[in-house]
Amino acid sequence: MTADRKDLSAALAASLKAIDDDYTEEMRELRALFEEARVEAEKDEPNGQKLKALLADANEMARTFATLDPAWQAVQRVARLFGIL
């Protein structure tokens, strides 16, 4: 495995740990993409196109989540205020 792929694999593993530590249910699809990308990156001969596609999908999903997360947090705060959660 090349140094670049080792770095990518390590970064993906760190992302998986962060997701597991901070978010569980909300991030399950993003986590699945990161896991699939990590497995692909660790192969002796990874499929570069598949890896790029997985990372592009994960990037888009992370951007969407980052955009929507503040709104979701606000909804949860209001729900707690009214005793719904």
Q: What is the pLDDT along the chain (85 residues), one digit of tens a residue?
A: 788 888 888 888 887 787 777 665 667 788 888 889 999 999 999 999 999 999 999 888 888 877 877 777 777 787 777 777 6
Which stretches of the chain are DSSP H helices? 3-22, 28-41, 48-81
pLDDT attached to residue 23: 65
pLDDT attached to residue 26: 64
pTM of the model: 0.61
Cβ contact 32:54 at 8 Å = no
pLDDT attached to residue 40: 93
Cβ contact 50:40 at 8 Å = yes
Give the separation between CA 81 and CA 35, rounded to whole angstroms.
Answer: 36
pLDDT attached to residue 51: 92
